Amino acid sequence: MDLGKLKNELVNQSQSQYSLLGKICPTFQNEGTASVYIDGRKLLTGESYSVNAPNVILQNSIAITFDIDPTKTKILYVGFVELI
């Protein structure tokens, strides 16, 4: 059995190349008031999107794009496992 640790990242701005390198089973959770697109998939406030690919270490990058509205907060949590 491989050993890993749970990690979390906060994303609060759009990124054209958000790296998934080394991440296992990332979950994206929109806690802001702005909608956010994860690789083209729209997440509304309170919604989450999980990549259920156990035993796969991701190697690519994806686009994270927040709706443009300065009155709305941009808070996207990304939780994932990283091998030790």
Domain boundaries, the chain: 12-77
Confidence of residue 1 (pLDDT cuts 50, 70, 90): confident
Claim: this prediction has a pTM higher than 0.75 = yes
Give the C-alpha distances (Å, rounded to integers) separating 24 from 14, 53, 62, 69, 72.
22, 7, 14, 31, 30
Task: Give the C-alpha separation, 79 to 12, whole Å.
Answer: 14
pLDDT score for 54: 84
Predicted confidence (pLDDT) per residue in 53-73, tens digit: 888 999 999 999 999 999 999
pLDDT score for 2: 86
